């Protein structure tokens, strides 16, 4: 793709989402109404739309790209999950999604007999998750899950439609206007309940909903790991992920990006310091911050594959001979975390500039792996690495959009802080030893999750913050804006802090958040109530929680003293 055309689309706010470069046609306004409008087709948006549609509501789901699925598909990132996910700690519909991914591989991929019989099949045999898979498989499963509701006319999906403005009446959202990225036509969408499931919380500024961005001051949150002053521009680095396959003996070396030399010399300016050049196999250990070096060996059967197996999508050993000659991995590493500036809450042209720089960083990493990465035999470079844009659905070779870890967050009725879920913070508050302490219990729980408080280096210059957390609940109060009455967050934009976003942002938690938001709209639609009324009244809240349980959402951990992550 021509660079100028790519930048044009970035400046339009798409981050490379509409890549065909077709001229925009004249704006034609249309209108559509539904019971629930879900803006954003990521993990939370899909879960919300499915929840509302299966209860008979009419749903419109919009998505900026031509793929639903968010971080699972368009961003290329397979699930980050807690160690008990195969037994408990996820919603029934999320389990159904995971099982369907495995069934898809069993039905259509040439697996070995051992892999076919494995009840917990992990196609990539990766070591970050018990289920690493190709993004297209997740897309196929999500499309299949939505198919019956689309066929029944209850779910309408508008792909390549970007929200551009909203109409607000006091504390209610009346309508959201979306623009067709292919034709330029605009549609005005209305619904009694509007769910913001965008990757960056885009509806919050459009609707005037009060929100927070970046890191809060310790005085405001009481969190031990919060900064001394608030820094709205201090967010976790985005990462433009890409997939690589390995073909021994081949040469798939790409052209180096124009600024490869600059990226090759770049040393992140972080506190505490980064150990050296970013394009290296040595980086800061996320927990200790000491320099650590991972091996990288993509050869099939390698004794120490290291980063190659970290997020591997296809392990040749799981497939019949010749089906996956060298395997495929997803590159979402410290080495392509982009620290140069924000994509969130900045002017479109600034976001476009940083998105393009993030793209070139990832291409530079790809080129470095092909030409300069150290090999076990003392040589350098793996020219057999092949950039797999075909698996990502793009011509430029990378994922459709950058992986966004941190979005705008509503100013919520209740905000989850480190004091509620952090291991050391909870021990300090409760005085209990590690084996007895639990996360704060929430009587308004709408789900559960577990993950370390995992903050990647930030655009404001912070190195990793990676600390233990306890298995936690998701409080309903964190899904309610302080003022707006019919706008609900349904992704990473709930009432967390910069710190607790680090454990509430992962795939199964985002799915649970979206599903709970969708079911809250269902409950309010049936009862003729507003979301805040449900939260404020114990009887209404109990009725809503019964609906959640009936739909397969776990509200509490079997034992909240599980070993913290």
In this predicted structure, the answer to whether residue 17 has a pLDDT above a threshold of 90 is: no
- Indicate the domain borders of the chain: 242-392, 411-550
The Cα–Cα gap between 40 and 204 comes to: 13
Question: Is residue 481 very low, low, confident or very high in pLDDT (cuts 50, 70, 90)?
Answer: very high
Q: What's the average model confidence in pLDDT over 71-98?
A: 97
In this predicted structure, the answer to whether residue 361 has a pLDDT above a threshold of 70 is: yes
pLDDT value of residue 20? 32
Question: Is residue 28 very low, low, confident or very high in pLDDT (cuts 50, 70, 90)?
Answer: very low
pLDDT value of residue 23? 34
If DSSP codes are grouped into helix, strand and coil, which group holds residue 180? Answer: strand
Q: What's the average model confidence in pLDDT over 280-309?
A: 97
Q: What's the average model confidence in pLDDT over 293-314?
A: 96
DSSP-assigned states of every residue in 11-76: HTT-SS---S-PPP----EEEEE-SEEEE--SHHHHHHHHHHHHTT--EEEEESSS---GGGTTT-
pLDDT value of residue 559? 85
In this predicted structure, the answer to whether residue 557 has a pLDDT above a threshold of 70 is: yes
Higher pLDDT, 13 or 181: 181
Distances (CA, A) of 345 to 341, 392, 408: 11, 26, 8
The Cα–Cα gap between 450 and 506 comes to: 9
pLDDT value of residue 563? 65
pLDDT value of residue 497? 98
Counting Cα atoms < 13 Å in the Cβ hemisphere of 173 gives 32
Higher pLDDT, 425 or 31: 425
The Cα–Cα gap between 481 and 473 comes to: 18
pLDDT value of residue 26? 38
The Cα–Cα gap between 312 and 22 comes to: 35
The Cα–Cα gap between 22 and 183 comes to: 8
Question: Is residue 6 very low, low, confident or very high in pLDDT (cuts 50, 70, 90)?
Answer: very low
Q: What are phi and psi of 52, to 5 degrees?
A: -70, -40
Question: Is residue 560 very low, low, confident or very high in pLDDT (cuts 50, 70, 90)?
Answer: confident
pLDDT value of residue 30? 76
pLDDT value of residue 91? 98
Instruction: Say which residues have a Cβ less than 8 Å from residue 508's Cβ, sequence separation at least 6.
Output: 79, 81, 82, 85, 89, 90, 91, 94, 449
Instruction: Kindly tell me the sign of the dihedral angle through the C-alpha atoms of 470, 474, 479, 482.
Output: negative
In this predicted structure, the answer to whether residue 12 has a pLDDT above a threshold of 90 is: no
pLDDT in tens, 56-71: 999 999 999 999 999 9
If DSSP codes are grouped into helix, strand and coil, which group holds residue 342? Answer: coil
Q: What's the average model confidence in pLDDT over 343-357?
A: 96
Rg (CA), the chain: 23
pLDDT value of residue 565? 64
pLDDT in tens, 203-231: 999 999 999 999 999 999 999 999 999 99
pLDDT value of residue 24? 34
Counting Cα atoms < 13 Å in the Cβ hemisphere of 231 gives 17
């Amino acid at each position: 793709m021509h660079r100028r055309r790519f930048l044009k689309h970035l400046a339009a706010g798409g981050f490379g989402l509409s890549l065909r470069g077709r001229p925009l046609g004249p704006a034609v306004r249309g209108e559509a109404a539904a019971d629930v409008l879900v803006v954003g087709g990521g993990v939370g948006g899909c879960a919300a739309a499915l929840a509302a549609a299966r209860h008979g509501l009419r749903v419109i789901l919009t998505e900026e790209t031509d793929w639903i699925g968010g971080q699972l598909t368009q961003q290329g990132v397979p699930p980050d999950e807690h160690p008990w996910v195969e037994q408990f700690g996820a919603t029934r519909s999320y389990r159904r999604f995971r099982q369907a991914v495995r069934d898809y591989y069993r039905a259509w991929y040439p697996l070995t007999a051992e892999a076919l019989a494995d009840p917990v099949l992990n196609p990539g045999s990766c070591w970050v998750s018990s289920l690493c898979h190709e993004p297209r498989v997740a897309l196929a499963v999500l499309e299949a899950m939505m198919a019956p509701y689309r066929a029944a006319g209850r779910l309408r999906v508008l792909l390549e439609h970007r929200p551009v403005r909203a109409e607000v009446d006091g504390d209610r959202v009346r309508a959201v206007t979306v623009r067709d990225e292919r034709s330029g036509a605009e549609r005005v969408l209305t619904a009694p309940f509007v769910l913001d499931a965008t990757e960056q919380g885009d509806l919050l500024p459009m609707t005037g909903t009060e929100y927070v961005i970046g890191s809060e001051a310790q005085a405001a949150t009481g969190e031990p790991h919060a900064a001394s002053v608030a820094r709205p521009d201090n967010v976790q680095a985005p990462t433009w992920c890409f997939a690589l396959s390995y073909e021994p003996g081949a040469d798939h070396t790409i052209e180096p990006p124009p600024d490869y030399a600059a990226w090759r010399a770049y040393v992140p300016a972080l506190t505490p310091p980064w150990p050296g050049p970013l394009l290296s196999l040595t980086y800061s250990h996320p927990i200790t911050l000491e320099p650590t070096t991972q091996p990288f060996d993509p050869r099939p059967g390698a004794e120490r594959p290291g980063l190659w197996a970290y997020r591997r999508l296809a392990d040749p050993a799981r497939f019949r001979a010749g089906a996956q000659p060298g395997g495929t991995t997803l590159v979402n590493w410290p080495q392509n975390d982009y620290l140069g500036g924000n994509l969130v809450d900045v002017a479109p042209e600034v976001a476009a500039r940083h998105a393009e720089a993030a793209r070139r960083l990832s291409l530079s990493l790809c080129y470095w792996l092909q030409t300069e990465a150290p090999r076990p035999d003392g040589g350098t470079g793996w020219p057999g690495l092949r950039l797999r844009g075909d698996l990502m659905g793009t011509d430029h070779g990378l994922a459709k959009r950058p992986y966004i870890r941190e979005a705008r967050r509503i100013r919520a009725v209740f905000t989850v802080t480190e004091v509620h879920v952090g291991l050391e913070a909870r021990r300090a508050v409760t005085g209990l030893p590690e084996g007895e302490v639990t996360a704060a219990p929430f009587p308004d729980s709408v789900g559960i999750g577990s993950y370390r408080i995992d903050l990647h280096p930030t655009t404001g210059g912070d190195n990793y913050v990676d600390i233990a957390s306890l298995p936690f609940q998701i409080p309903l109060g964190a899904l309610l804006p302080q003022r707006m009455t019919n706008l609900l967050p349904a992704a990473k934009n709930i009432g967390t802090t910069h710190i607790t976003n680090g454990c509430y942002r992962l795939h199964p938690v985002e799915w649970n958040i979206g599903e709970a938001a969708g079911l809250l709209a269902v409950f309010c639609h049936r009862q003729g109530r507003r979301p805040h009324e449900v939260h404020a009244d114990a009887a209404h809240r109990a009725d809503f929680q019964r609906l959640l349980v009936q739909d397969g959402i776990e509200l509490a951990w079997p034992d909240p003293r599980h070993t913290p992550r």
